[in-house]
Amino acid sequence: QKEVEQNSGPLSVPEGAIASLNCTYSDRVSQSFFWYRQYSGKSPELIMSIYSNGDKEDGRFTAQLNKASQYVSLLIRDSQPSDSATYLCAVSLFSGGYNKLIFGAGTRLAVHP
């Protein structure tokens, strides 16, 4: 089992809709969770971080965390074509004496007009 799993997609949504991106992780003691956006050929850009159960909202983005289910999600409201990108879920895992980030392979989102 991979430590961080995401559906590779593509997830296709119409403009204006809500895009829901999901991520599961295997380490129950993980404490920090991040969502990165990566446009094709570009570097990952941190867009959301979440550390406690529940929802965290930032503009059109909402991150949701459920540690009991080992599940973190990202909702994008009023999706725009400019949101089309690959979204990487990252989970902090204590291993080898330090907190390292484990990345999922990413979900490709396509927002069509």
Residues engaged in binding another protein (CB under 8 A): 8, 32, 34, 41-46, 49, 51, 88, 90, 92, 96, 98-101, 103-106
Query: What residue type is assigned to position 30 of the chain?
Result: S
Q: How far is the CB of 49 from another protein (least distance, A)?
A: 6
DSSP for 53-65, please give it.
Answer: SEEEEETTEEEEE
- DSSP letter, residue 18: P
Q: How far is the CB of 25 from another protein (least distance, A)?
A: 13
Q: How far is the CB of 79 from another protein (least distance, A)?
A: 23
CB 73 within 8 A of CB 91: no
Q: Which is nearer to another protein, 16 or 94 (CB)?
A: 94
Query: What residue type is assigned to position 69 of the chain?
Result: S
Q: Which is nearer to another protein, 43 or 113 (CB)?
A: 43
Q: Which residue has the tokens 């971080």?
A: 49
Q: Are strands 107-112 and 54-58 parallel, antiparallel or unpaired?
A: unpaired
Q: How far is the CB of 21 from another protein (least distance, A)?
A: 15
Q: Which is nearer to another protein, 77 or 100 (CB)?
A: 100
